Structure 1
Amino acid sequence: MDVLIVGAGPTGLALGIDLARRGVDALVVERADRLFPGSRGKGIQPRTQEVFDDLGVLDAMRAAGGPYPVRMIWKDGERVGEQPMFEAVEATEGAPYTEPLMVPQWRTQEVLYARLVELGGQVAFGREVTGLEQDAEGVDVRFADGTALRARYVVAADGGRSAVRRAVGVGMTGETVDPNPFLVADVRVRGLDRDHWHAFPGADGTGLMLCPLAGTDDFQLSAKLAEGAEPKPALDGVRELVAAYTHLDAADVTELRWASDFRPRAALADRFRVGRVFLAGDAAHVHSPAGGQGLNTSVQDAYNLGWKLGAVLRDSAPGTLLDTYEEERRPNAAAMLGLSTGVHRGEVQRGKATVQLGLGYPESSLTEDRRTAPSGVRAGDRAPDGTVEGVRLFDAYRGPHWTLLGASAPTAEIRALSTAPKSYGPGVFLIRPDGYVGWAGDSTAGLGEYLTRLGCG
């Protein structure tokens, strides 16, 4: 086996999809006996929508979810005003998706799982990892049932309490974001419209919100409790909270479908790679849920790692390419942790800062810009959408290949459009499989050396 992915959350499933379409022999294993049942990470940011477009699941995601409603503020049983949830971001040709999409996490995972199976991948449920050992050629992974598997590489996508991270001895450095306990639950509620995200602020900084979950009959309840309070993630406890913070009666909560309590924290793994073991998603970084950055950063970990594993395992790229995963993703995750914490504390507005369209890898060792006077899009930037030669760029980029704009393709594996769009500025642009500009030049001079360095020449 080439790759064993531990954890069937959004990170593990997205990585499984990316590897499956590259012909990599990979298996996803999951400790639980089914996919995660709750709504927890419900926000799909615009950059992740672009990733899902490439992975072939965006239409299914849109069908499974919907837009975020406006927030309705309540006080003493009266509606006292509306507030938009997000600062508006104008759509452009280069950034066609600018609004977050609401999809309950359980639905996101169902869509990803269906795509993985469609591509011939699989998830082995009920497989709990208890330990591993690695050598120069691979990793031996042990399971609670006494069995073992060997893979050339292992990816830990098994959450904030990652057994794989502990097995390789990687610590996490972090802080408490908020001393107050929180409770989140998926509930059925009567007496509220489904056109608003209903907010019931308390007088002491606590409060409760009920958000209609797009594509379902449920509401997501999220409550900030008093410091020192003990959350009760059961039906009676949830009913008590609703009766205490809203004008609804306890009996108006007709069903509890899932619940969990937590204390918001931000933490970053000290390393994202130990030999042949990689950390991704919550196993590598734990966020406050505010601002909807955690799941999105996690999916983009998978997107970054997938093409690199594929290149090394299937395209004879040098193993050193895998070193760039930590180089690129750890600083990015650290920045997103700071952003999530800022949103949680009311220091950052949801909107332009949280859509993740401005993220890139300008300092990466994979980034090279040889233009004498670079302008417009630069190497390391996200490659914007557009139209050239009658072809939509996102359509051209879709798939596991590299794309060259402004010149003929030097190899058959690279798709080429002989014209670069004016919006990119003058030059020749090589787009990585994950939709970032890897190389740019005034001409193709130097492109061959770059491709050879990556094993593509």
Structure 2
Amino acid sequence: MKPQILIVGAGPTGLVMAYNLARHNISFRIIDRNEGPGQASRAMAILPRTLEFYQQFGFADEVIDRGIKMEDVYVRVKNKIKAKVHLGSLGEGLSPFPFVLTFPQDDHERFLLEKLKNLGIEVEWKTELLSLAEHGEGIKTLLKAQQEETAYFKYICGCDGAHSTVRKQMNIEFKGEKYKQHFYVMDVHGSGEVMKNQKISISFSNEEFLICMPVRSKGTYRMIGIIPSALLDQNDIKAENIQTFLQQTFGAEIENINWFSTYNIHHRVASRFRQGRIFLSGDAAHIHSPAGGQGMNTGIGDAINLSWKLAAVLQRKAALSILDTYEEERLPFAELLVNTTDRAFKRMVARDKTSQFFRKHIFPPVLSFLFRFPYPRHKAFTILSQIRIKYRNSNLSSGQGTNVQSGDRLPYVEGNFESLQSLNWQIHVYGTAAQKLKKSMREKGFSLHEFSWNPYMKKAGLQKDALYVIRPDGYIGFISSEQRIELLYQYLNTHKILPFTNE
């Protein structure tokens, strides 16, 4: 079958895009200019919402087995613990995965490549996009591997990173700025208080900032921090310089350095995520600070959101207009990250006296106090985990609920996420579904899942006997409190929604 989509870039975003398209039997090519998958650990954190997506794919447990669960965060000031946060208690009952997982990006990419290979999909390495242009009802591209090739596709997904060729070819503005500070990242073997008990450690001294977390095998740690002021004038900062600084400032005894790099951090968001038949996802569309591990996970969320919509349109299972909802759903969240997480990170790493006072004397005690109470704990988890992402203003969200609204992620209650592995539209009723509704959905080919009502459902915000239309990505598309079938049909007909398969 002739490829309908070109995916440019085989990092986590492009690989997840490819996997979901393959699961929906969409033909595509995926190219990357590099010789093979990355060799460095780079992005580390896999957040609960990403694990929920991987549960839909059927391989969340495999990922968890290969990674390290991070259930605790310690905040240290001048090597003394000032706050402890247990992540497991933060997300208890909110997600089947109430923790952060560390899984090095190179291992992560190889895992996804393995899954694609099982589906008969191979990345075309050492292949780059030279040019692209709208051509009738598709895109004309010029690709280069060993030789140049002209190829035509219906859609292009630019997942090719911060220096995206796709974005530059389309002249899409990449708004934002660079942080003033220069940063280092290193993977090490060592010991010391900041490398103890397989915890995430956030440490502050007067001007300095350090994040330390375990990676891979026991005794290997990722360290991220600001290059000390005293070293900024050096043209070539070496790992040994940082090693000495870490020992003197944070008591870190580093025995072996596996990887070291210095870099600048930007926060930027593309002015558009879509231009005609061309889409941007992941770092090609937005880049963020490393705070909270939001960047890579946001890219994976982009890939999930776009891939099922492309599949639905190409299979004529939804109206062409649903592609408009990709940008209207994903761009606002990328901008929200800049205004929240990135802004907070800027405050945490600033070297002025006010910021120093805040992170040493205000942040730890306030964190300890707030996290004694259930509401702040749960609120923090929804933000960190990305389960708070909502699409309430999307044209694909309709109908009124009580606490839970259309456009929200389907709240987790025991047993209700298993059916999402179909990657298909489905109907949920928490309570009793009317026989007329059951018969109607059976005739239309939509699966209907009826869950016996219990108090946990009310606590999760679900409404007894309401009808919920669940999208293939696990978000609520439509709600009817009274199971009104005519309104359900109106929603389905407006967007020309058909199930991917007759279940």
Equivalent residue, structure 1, for 2:198: 195
CA 1:60/1:418 → structure 2, altered by over 3 Å: closer, same or farther? closer
* Offset of residue 232 of structure 1: 4.8
Distance 1:95 1:248, change over 3 A: closer
| Partner residue of 2:495 out of 441, 454, 457 | 454
Check whether the contact 1:183–1:233 (CA below 8 A) recurs between aligned residues.
no
Secondary structure of the equivalent of 1:170?
A: coil
Aligned to 1:298: 299
Which residue is 1:162 aligned to? Answer: 164
Residue in 1 that maps onto 2:96: 96
Q: Structure 2 residue aligned with 1:71, among 45, 69, 74?
A: 74
Shift of residue 209 of structure 1?
4.2
Cα drift, residue 54 of structure 1? 0.8
Tell me, in whole angstroms, the C-alpha distance in 2 between the residues paired with 1:431 and 1:209.
38
Partner amino acid for 1:402?
W
Task: Say if 1:95 and 1:274 are closer, same or farther in 2 by CA, change over 3 A.
Answer: same
> Does 2:466 correspond to 1:439?
no
CA pair 231-97 structure 1, distance change in 2 beyond 3 A = farther
Code of the aligned partner of 1:71: Y
Describe the shift of the 1:216–1:412 C-alpha distance in structure 2 as closer, same or farther (beyond 3 A). Answer: farther
The answer to which of 360-369 and 39-48 deviates more is 39-48
SS, match of residue 299 in structure 2: helix
Find the residue that maps to 1:11 and give its secondary structure: helix
* Equivalent position of 1:22 in the other structure: 24
What is the aligned counterpart of 1:358 among 384, 388, 397? 388
Q: Residue 124 of structure 1: CA displacement?
A: 1.1
| TM-score in terms of structure 1 length | 0.88
Q: Which amino acid aligns with 1:57?
A: F
C-alpha RMSD of the superposition: 2.6
Greater mean alpha carbon deviation, residues 154-163 or residues 404-413: 404-413
Q: CA separation in 1, counterparts of 2:235 and 2:256?
A: 19
Aligned to 1:38: 40
> What letter is aligned with 1:275?
G
C-alpha distance 229-107 of structure 1, shift in aligned 2 (>3 A): farther
Determine whether 1:380 maps to 2:412: no
User: Per the alignment, in what secondary structure is the counterpart of residue 296 of structure 1?
Assistant: helix
* CA distance, structure 2, for counterparts of residue 207 and residue 13 of structure 1: 33
Does the 8 Å CA contact 2:7/2:14 hold for their aligned counterparts? yes
Q: Deviations over 1:357-379 (max 9, x none)?
A: 1211111101110x5xx324221
**What amino acid does structure 2 have at the position aligned with 1:451?**
L
Separation (CA, whole Å) in 2 of partners of 1:158 and 1:101:
24
Question: Partner amino acid for 1:175?
Answer: E
Greater shift in the superposed pair: 29-38 or 166-175: 29-38
Residue type at the aligned position of 1:206: E
The 5 Å alignment of 1:408-423 reads 408=438, 409=441, 411=443, 413-418=445-450, 421=453, 423=457
Q: Do structure 1's residue 430 and structure 2's residue 473 form an aligned pair?
A: no
Unaligned runs of 5+ residues in structure 1 are none
* Gap change, CA 1:360 and 1:207, over 3 Å in 2: closer
- The 3 A distance-change label for structure 1 pair 354 and 153 is same
Q: Which of residues 52, 55, 59 in structure 2 aligns to 1:53?
A: 55
Deviates more, 1:28-37 or 1:284-293: 28-37
Report Cα offsets for 1:49-106 as digits up to 9, x if no partner: 111111222111101112225437474xxx52264366651411x5332222222222
Q: Give the direction of change, closer, same or farther, for the CA distance of 1:198–1:291 in structure 2 (3 Å limit).
A: closer
CA distance in 2, matches of 1:425, 1:342: 36
Q: What CA distance in whole angstroms lies between the structure 1 residues aligned with 2:201 and 2:317? A: 54
Number of the residue aligned with 2:373? none
Task: Quote the Cα distance in structure 2 between the aligned partners of 1:286 and 1:198.
Answer: 24
Partner of 2:312: 311
Contact 2:8 2:31 in 1 (8 A): yes
Q: Deviations over 1:411-442 (max 9, x none)?
A: 55421124575622041111000101101112
Q: CA deviation at 1:207?
A: 3.7
Quick one: which amino acid aligns to residue 52 of structure 1? Y
**Displacement of 1:320 after TM fit?**
1.6
Q: How does 1:147-296 map to 2 (within 5 A)?
A: 147-176=149-178, 178-189=179-190, 193=196, 195-197=198-200, 201-203=204-206, 205-215=207-217, 217-226=219-228, 228-229=232-233, 232=236, 235-243=239-247, 245-247=249-251, 252-257=254-259, 259-296=260-297
C-alpha deviation, 1:306, in angstroms: 0.9
Q: Is the 8 A contact 1:235 1:256 kept in 2?
A: no
Q: Structure 2 length normalisation: TM-score?
A: 0.80
Structure 1, 156-165 or 445-454: larger mean CA deviation: 445-454
Query: Residue 14 of structure 1: SS of its match in structure 2?
Result: helix
For 2:411, give the aligned amino acid: P
Percent identity between the two aligned chains: 27
Question: What letter matches 1:378 in structure 2?
Answer: Q
1:2 corresponds to: 4
Higher helix share: 2
What is the aligned partner in structure 1 of residue 354 from structure 2? none
Residue identity in the other structure for 1:113 = L
CA deviations 1:394-416 (Å, max 9, x no partner) are 11111221111234225554211
Question: Quick one: distance in 2 between partners of 1:208 and 1:313?
Answer: 47
1:26 is displaced (CA, Å) by 1.7
Tell me, in whole angstroms, the C-alpha distance in 1 between the residues paired with 2:313 and 2:278: 15
> For the Cα contact (< 8 Å) 1:362–1:379, is it kept in 2?
yes
Query: Greater shift after overlay, 145-154 or 297-306?
Result: 145-154
- Give, in whole Å, the separation in 2 of the partners of 1:421 and 1:168: 51
- Residue type at the aligned position of 2:489: G
> What's the counterpart of residue 396 of structure 1?
419
